[in-house]
Amino acid sequence: MTDDPKTLVSTDWLARHLKDPDLRLIDASWYLPDAGRDPKSEYDAAHIPGARFFDIDEISDQRSALPHMAPPPEKFISRMRAMGIGDGHQVVVYDGMGLFSAARVWWLFRLMGKTDVAVLNGGLPKWLSEGHPIEDMPPVMRDRHITVSLQNHLVVDVTQVAHASKLADHEILDARSPGRFSGEEPDPRPGLRAGHIPNSKNVYYKTLLNENGTMKTKAELREVFDAAGVDLKKPVITTCGSGVTAAIIFLALERLGVDRKALYDGSWSEWGKYDDLKVATG
């Protein structure tokens, strides 16, 4: 893998740059409720030296009834300033699964116009397996000025997705498991219908990853999209259960140089809730 400080960096790269004064590390661990894991207490017990904890549920738009929607720019600015993350920093995001929720926070930075941000390939599990250092002390954080420039084209709402679904002029890619996509498995969130957005295609996020939680090579990623019948010349909308694993597809597309792409932030938590929106199964 070629290290790219704008998309994906290796544990070797991070080990070399760990003490760089302009590096800012973020632990963006987040788990589905049924995982039985507490990301903040895991962070408190052990994290990569210097890492700050990014609470995906708190740094969100809490005016919305939907889970962890993208925060307003003002809230993002205030939280990042307090965490000592600002202009001129190289940000590296990781999580406790390998590559899961880190991509969501990477996408949030992109949404806010910050491009010097990468995901740690393989995350904390790979870092630990290689014997790299960890600590349990929170870092000393000093306020840092940060400017943002909202990139509205990187996010779409339910109206835009409904339009794209009806016209079939976009590739709508769903990162959920095949069982949830087909409607054979019930959704883990209560009150949501089973199935998928009409004219969407299933690109299960795990098919983009290796068993050790690292992202597949660019050639292998292309094979996954080809196997799912995806035309990458069309504009792409990524979706999932609540906008977390949709960002893994988004990151894979960025690795492949696909420019026209956006993430459906409401995802199935929104689409599956409203009876006036059509649902496909099978």
**How many domains does the chain divide into?**
2
Q: Is 240 a catalytic residue?
A: yes
Do 139 and 37 share a domain, yes or no?
yes
What's residue 59's pLDDT? 98
Q: Cβ distance 239 to 265 under 8 Å?
A: no
Does residue 4 contact residue 251 with C-beta atoms inside 8 Å? no
Question: Is residue 36 in a domain?
Answer: yes
- Distance in angstroms (rounded) separating the CA atoms of residues 75 and 60: 8
Q: Which residues of the chain, if any, have pLDDT below 50?
A: none
Boundary residue ending a domain (123, 150, 177): 150
In a domain, 60, yes or no: yes
- Domain stops at, among 134, 150, 166: 150
**Other C-beta atoms within 10 Å of 233: how many?**
9
Contacts of 259 (CB under 8 A, 6+ apart): none
* Same-domain check for residues 33 and 108: yes
Is 66 domain-assigned? yes
Max Cα–Cα distance, the chain, nearest Å:
53
pLDDT at 188: 84
> Do 124 and 163 belong to one domain?
no
Question: Quick check: helix, strand or coil at residue 14?
Answer: helix
- For residues 213, 214, 217, 222, the Cα torsion angle rounded to the nearest 10 degrees is 40
Does residue 281 lie within any of the structural domains?
A: no
32, part of any domain: yes
Instruction: Classify residue 211: in a domain, yes or no.
Output: yes
Query: How far are the Cα atoms of 142, 147, 197, 253, 259 from residue 249, in angstroms, in the given order?
Result: 34, 27, 16, 6, 13
Length of the chain: 282
C-alpha–C-alpha distance, residues 135 and 81, integer Å = 23
My answer on whether 50 and 108 are in the same domain is yes
Whether residues 12 and 146 share a domain: the answer is yes
Distance between CA atoms of residues 53 and 42, nearest Å: 10
Q: Are residues 145 and 158 in the same domain?
A: no
Active-site annotation holder among 192, 240, 244, 248: 240
**Dihedrals φ, ψ of 199, to 5°?**
70, 15
Distance between CA 24 and CA 175 in Å, rounded?
28
Does the residue 276 lie in any domain?
A: no
**pLDDT recorded at residue 221:** 98
* CATH number of the domain to which 51 belongs: 3.40.250.10
Q: Which amino acid is at 102?
A: A
Residues 165, 76, single domain; the answer is no
Angle at the Cα of 218 from the Cα atoms of 121 and 23, rounded to 5 degrees: 35
Q: Are residues 44 and 170 in the same domain?
A: no
- Domain span at residue 195 reads 153-271
Pick from 94, 116, 150: which residue ends a domain?
150
CA distance 220 to 210: 10
Whether 101 and 180 share a structural domain: no
Sort 177 into a burial class: Cβ within 10 Å, 0-12 / 13-18 / 19+: middle
Rounded CA gap, 259 and 246, in Å? 16
Residue 215: per-residue pLDDT? 98
Residue 188 sits in the same domain as residue 69: no
- At 190 the pLDDT is 87
Task: State the SS3 of 84-115.
Answer: CCCCCCEEEEECCCCCCCHHHHHHHHHHCCCC
- The type of residue at 22 is D
Q: Give pLDDT, residue 187.
A: 85
Are 72 and 150 in contact by the 8 Å Cβ rule? The answer is: no
- Whether 94 is in a domain gets the answer yes
**pLDDT (tens digit, 9 = 90+) per residue, 70-85?**
999 999 999 999 999 9
Q: Token digits for 202?
A: 């299933």
Same domain, 184 and 136: no
Same domain, 14 and 67: yes
